[in-house]
Amino acid sequence: MRKNRKDSIRKERIIMVTSSALVLAALTMTGLYMRGQEAKQQDDGYTLDFSALENGQNNRQQGNGTEQAKNTTVGKPFQSNLENDLDYMPLDEELSAEAGSHLVEIPGLTDGAQSNAPEKSKNDKNTKDAKDAKDANDGEDAGKKQAENSETEKPVGEGQQQEEKQPAVALHYNEDQGLTRPVSGEVLLPYSMDGSIYFATLDQYKYNPATVFTAEEGTDVLACAEGKVVKVFDDAELGRGVTLELGDGYVVTYGQLTDIQVAKDSYVKAGEKIGTVAAPSRYYSLEGANLYFRMEKDGAPLNAENLF
């Protein structure tokens, strides 16, 4: 029984190998047949007669020889056979034909364009020349006008600054000249550099390098002597103020001002109004409205109460 089984397995293997070989052979034959059919289809209708092509090319070259000679006599550059075979005009030749180029000649059509082209070019040139001449004239007129304006007009603000600027004045002051009282009020806080005095708003005693006058708000404040305005300031303690230089090292400072009438670098005379008394700053709120007046000699505070 085992032997029969082995024979059966051997027969099955032989059948499988034989079947595989037959299938492989059938596939190979089928592939070869299909390739032959494709090659036959590709060859059908695509056979070229090179002899006829060569004869036609020679005939065409002979015909183009005469045409080439004709084009050479009239100044037209030689075109290749490929360009002659085209049934349309190349792009650059088409543009040249639209522009009236003399390289393209069509009897009865381009004669007028060729004759008008030089005239049109001449007109364009004349128009351009006229425009350039006009621009040149306009530029010349503008240059003349600018030169006239520069001669007759001054830069903005230059003339005003020269008019407002006052001539320098040689200032001199000595204590024998005395001082004009800036306001008519009484002394609220006297000059005191030898000992401290009490400031009610600050609730403390301290030295006082100035004289503080009582004055109502809006009272006119006068210049104590002839001098030059060297500073117009705004201070937290003194409010708005003005500093005058009297000459020879003497300087006076006004504080608690408003409606200031003078400007820096301007000159004032004794008794001239420089502003009005303002509301007191927060450092003098309990003292009330007042005028702060300080005098210095070479930077050192000076008692001015004896000079009024």
Q: Which has more confidence, 149 or 263?
A: 263
First to last CA, the chain: 158
Provide the β-strand partners of residue 214: 290
Where is pLDDT greater, at 230 or 23? 230
C-alpha closest to that of 222 among 263, 269, 267: 269
Query: What local confidence, expressed as pLDDT, does residue 11 receive?
Result: 84
Given a cut of 70, whether residue 105 has pLDDT beyond it is no
> For the chain, what is the mean pLDDT?
75
Comparing 45 with 271, the larger pLDDT belongs to 271
CA distance 222 to 181: 7
**What is the residue type of 19?**
S
DSSP secondary structure letters along 85-127: H-SS--HHHHHHHHTT-TT---TTTHHHHHHHHHHHHHHHHHH
What is the rounded (10 degree) CA torsion for 223, 235, 231, 241? -20
Comparing 110 with 185, the larger pLDDT belongs to: 185
* pLDDT at position 12: 85
pTM for this entry:
0.48
